Amino acid sequence: MAPAAVPDFTGTWLFTCYDGDMEAFLKSVGCGFFNRTKAKAAKYGQGSMEQVITSTRSTIKIVDTTSNEILKMIRKDVTTDLMIDDEDTEQETQEAGMGRKVHVKVGWSTDGKELLTTFVKIEDDTEMPWVTRRYLKDDNMMVLKQSSATGEEITRYFTRKQE
């Protein structure tokens, strides 16, 4: 059951900076050398990747886009519609970075402050344990902490765009 109060991620968010070893993280989640090289040349999307989000207590819709021409060669604009539940129900969706079909589980943390997305496996049934913790640092900063099965971690920061 979802906690009484959960954050509202609704808005347009611009990826502005990150902490961690992005190269090592991307490699650990299956991103090939060519795509990692292109992503690095595009500054991993800083200043050009946006997430347009509509969220409620039980759903989240993320339109993940980029205006960077280099990134457009290696990634697709993706719309993700997910149900948020506490039943560990697997859902199939498309992973934006590499365009693969993936199975995920989505639910709220116990305190209701973080939306947890666990990437379970990719389309060929290869296990892909990778977790994203999404939360609001304040009204204008959304944080995505991502960790791979091998222990690589990055933190991505998104700034709310004023409409």
pTM of the entire predicted model: 0.84
Domain assignment of residue 5, yes or no: no
Q: Residue 29 is part of a domain; what is its CATH number?
A: 2.40.128.20
Amino acid in position 33: F
Task: Give the chain's domain count.
Answer: 1
Domain assignment of residue 2, yes or no: no
Tens digit of each residue's pLDDT (9 = 90 or more) over 118-162: 877 666 666 666 788 999 999 999 999 999 888 999 999 999 998
Domain range holding 87?
Answer: 11-160
Domain assignment of residue 4, yes or no: no
What is the per-residue pLDDT for 71? 61
Q: How many CB atoms sit inside 10 A of residue 99's CB?
A: 12
Q: Which two tokens stand for residue 162?
A: 């004023």
Tens digit of each residue's pLDDT (9 = 90 or more) over 100-119: 677 778 888 888 899 888 87
Domain assignment of residue 97, yes or no: yes
Tens digit of each residue's pLDDT (9 = 90 or more) over 39-84: 898 898 899 889 899 998 888 888 888 776 666 655 555 667 677 7
